Every structure is written in structure tokens, then in C-alpha cells.
């Protein structure tokens, strides 16, 4: 068992008390131009019985994502991403939270209505979701290794976590269910979450910069062909101040690592109305000696879609 794997069995748990507020503003959809290609495997041909490529929700619909890149994934990649990322995160990890806050779902009948907790005497305690604080894990990631230069074997501390729960709802539940032992059920899916950050970053970079504007480098992580997640996915152990009414936030930077070669870095803050951290995913490489990369780079430097273009710090 590697050090990193051993660490993932023993996360550092701390509670963070928050008021989740309202998520009403999250569900206004915006769509990019249809692509007609699978952005993950590059497939351009459709089987006879499939009329069009699938739409990509850049941030999953289940988390209130409102950006859609139409006709951008094939059935095979879609199935892989659902199995590796969307199902574990949306239904398993965020399931109670989503049910309680009425997040969008493709299958209303699968909404959870009750949670089974434990009493002090060890017996089961059934609690309706409306009474449950519905805690969710909040992962804090260290800086991606491609940026920090840290070797995986030297520093295995790639992540830690906090549990987000609601102060008011927690207090009310203790009063209403005095037999409750105070424990929560939280499933830890940090590796799936890191793949999710890579998927969000890559989808957003393709949507904003264009397919062919850079060489994709995170697709092996997204499609489960690489488990070296923290080479390209990272974040900060610091939490940002909440933004009143804040949505999910996304930003693209280009970082030059040598002459003519830049990394495409997407910075991602989910649920900015809460004390969430900023993640980053390094999803591509721009090579200015490649004419299509150079043309896209010049265009987006002018239109401001790459917010920060910076040289490598030495």
C-alpha cells in the first residue's frame, strides 16, 4: 500500500459550521455553440443509431451547474465519466444535501427522503431529510505537483477535509432527537472529486478557448486511465470568504513554463456563497509553434478569456 493510499484511509476531520443559504440562483442554464465531437476521446463519427453527441454539463447538473457544452461527448466516454465521477459524487456523496436543498435531478423518484442514523444505544434512528443537517465533505487539496515541483514520494500530503454542516439545523436536530448519538454518515470520495475538478476544468477550457486551442493533458485522469490525480489537480488549504449570492466561479490562466509553451490552468470555486476553497486543474498545454494553438492564444489574449498570462516563476 502506498503512502498516499494509506493517508486516504485516515482523513483529518474537522467540523465547520455554516449557513448554506439559498441555491435558487444556480439553475439558469447557459449554452455554448454545439461542437459535434467527443472532447474526451476525439471521436468525430457517430454510430448509425446515435443521432448526435451528448451534451456536456461542465459542472454536473446535480451540483447546480448551469453551463452546457452541447454535442461534446460520445456514449462511451459519457458512461465512463458517469461511473467514475458523476454517480459517486452526485448521488452517493452529495445525495442527502441535494435532496434537502432540492437540487435538479433526472430522476425525482430516486430522491432520498430519510436517513438512517444511530441512537446512543446502538439502534437505528430514521430521520426525515428535512430535519437532517445533510453534511457534505469539503476537500482541501495541496497545490498540484506540476506547479509545486514536489515529488509524490517525498510529500504524500495531497489533501485533507472538513465536513460542512448547518449550525442551525444541527442544533434543532439535537433538540428534536435527543436519542441521536450525534454521528453523521459521510462518504469520502476525494479521488472521484479530484477527477471531477479535472473534468470541470477541461470542459470549461474547451468551451471558452475552443477544441484544438491546446493539447489536452488531463484526459487520462478524467477517463480513469491515470490515478496520478494530484499531479494536475490541486487547490489550497485556505478557505475563501463567502460571496453573498455567489455562484460557481471559473477562470482560465496561461502559465508559460518555457519559451513558446504554456500550461492551461482552470481555477474553480464551487458554491462561492459558502466558505469554499479555490481548486485548480491543469488541463492542457499551449504550444505557440503550433498554428492552431497560436491563433487561439492570440485571439483569447485579446478577448480576455485567459485572465492571467504569466511567465514561470523560478
Residues that bind Zn ion (CB under 5 A): 38, 40-41, 43, 74, 77
Of 24 and 79, CB closest to Zn ion = 79
Q: Is 73 or 158 the residue whose CB approaches Zn ion more closely?
A: 73
Give me the DSSP letters along 35-97: --S-TTT---PPPTT--SPEEEESS-GGGT--EEEEEEE-HHHHHHHIIIIIIIIIIIISHHH
Helix (H) or strand (E) holding 268: strand 261-269
Entry field: residues in the chain: 314
Report the residue number, 99 or 219, with the smaller CB distance to Zn ion.
219
Nearer to Zn ion, 219 or 272 (CB): 219
Nearer to Zn ion by C-beta: 43 or 253? 43
Q: How far is the CB of 53 from Zn ion (least distance, A)?
A: 8
Nearest CA-CA partner of 94 in 116, 63, 66: 63
CB closer to Zn ion, 73 vs 99:
73
Residue 256 β-bridge partners: 262, 311
> How deeply is 24 buried, as exposed, middle or buried, from its count of CB atoms within 10 A (0-12, 13-18, 19+)?
exposed
If the CB atoms of residues 38 and 286 are measured against Zn ion, the closer one turns out to be 38
Provide the minimum distance between the beta carbon of 50 and Zn ion in the complex, in angstroms, as a whole number.
12
Question: Shortest distance, CB of residue 107 to Zn ion, whole angstroms?
Answer: 24
For residue 163, give every residue at least 6 positions away whose Cβ sits within 8 Å of its Cβ, in sequence order, or none. Answer: 13, 14, 15, 16, 135, 136, 137, 138, 184, 186
Instruction: Give the whole-angstrom CA distance, residue 268 versus residue 202.
Output: 11
C-beta of 38 vs 217, nearer to Zn ion: 38
Rg (CA), the chain: 21
CB of 76 to Zn ion, least distance (A): 5
Least distance (Å) between residue 74 CB and Zn ion: 3
CB of 222 to Zn ion, least distance (A): 11
CA distance 136 to 242: 17
Q: Please report where in the chains the cell 485567459 appears, as a residue.
A: 306
Residue 8 CB, nearest approach to Zn ion (Å): 29
Instruction: Look at strands 308-311 and 249-258 and give their pairing.
Output: parallel
For the CB of residue 280, give the shortest distance to Zn ion in the complex, in Å.
24
3-state secondary structure (DSSP) of residue 247: coil
Angle between helical axes of 190-209 and 291-303 (0-180°, round to 10)? 90
Amino acid at each position: 500500500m502506498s503512502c498516499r493510499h494509506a493517508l486516504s484511509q485516515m482523513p483529518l476531520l474537522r467540523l465547520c459550521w455554516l449557513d448554506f443559504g439559498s441555491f435558487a440562483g444556480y439553475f439558469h442554464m447557459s449554452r455554448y455553440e454545439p461542437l459535434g465531437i467527443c472532447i474526451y476521446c476525439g471521436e468525430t463519427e457517430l454510430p448509425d443509431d446515435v443521432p448526435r453527441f451528448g451534451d456536456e454539463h461542465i459542472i454536473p447538473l446535480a451540483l447546480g451547474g448551469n453551463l452546457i457544452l452541447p454535442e461534446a461527448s460520445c456514449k462511451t466516454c459519457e458512461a465512463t465519466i458517469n461511473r467514475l465521477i458523476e454517480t459517486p459524487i452526485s448521488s452517493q456523496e452529495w445525495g442527502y444535501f441535494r435532496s434537502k436543498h432540492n437540487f435538479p435531478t433526472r430522476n425525482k423518484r430516486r430522491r432520498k427522503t430519510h436517513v438512517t442514523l444511530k441512537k446512543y444505544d446502538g439502534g437505528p434512528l430514521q430521520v426525515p431529510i428535512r430535519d437532517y443537517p445533510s453534511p457534505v465533505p469539503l476537500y482541501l487539496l495541496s497545490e498540484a505537483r506540476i506547479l509545486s515541483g514536489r515529488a509524490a514520494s517525498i510529500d504524500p500530503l495531497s489533501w485533507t477535509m472538513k465536513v460542512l454542516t448547518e449550525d442551525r439545523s444541527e442544533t434543532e436536530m439535537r433538540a428534536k432527537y435527543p436519542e441521536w448519538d450525534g454521528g453523521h454518515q459521510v462518504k469520502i470520495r476525494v479521488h472521484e472529486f479530484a477527477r471531477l475538478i479535472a473534468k470541470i476544468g477541461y470542459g470549461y477550457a474547451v468551451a471558452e478557448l475552443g477544441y484544438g486551442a491546446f493539447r489536452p493533458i488531463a484526459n487520462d485522469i478524467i477517463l480513469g486511465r491515470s490515478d496520478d490525480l494530484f499531479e494536475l489537480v490541486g487547490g489550497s488549504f485556505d478557505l475563501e470568504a463567502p460571496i453573498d449570492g455567489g455562484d460557481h466561479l471559473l477562470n482560465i490562466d496561461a502559465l508559460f513554463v518555457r519559451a513558446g509553451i504554456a500550461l492551461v490552468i482552470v481555477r474553480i470555486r464551487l458554491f462561492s456563497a459558502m466558505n469554499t476553497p479555490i481548486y485548480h486543474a491543469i488541463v492542457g498545454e499551449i504550444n505557440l509553434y503550433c498554428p492552431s494553438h497560436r491563433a487561439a492564444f492570440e485571439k483569447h489574449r485579446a478577448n480576455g478569456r485567459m485572465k492571467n498570462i504569466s511567465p514561470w516563476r523560478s
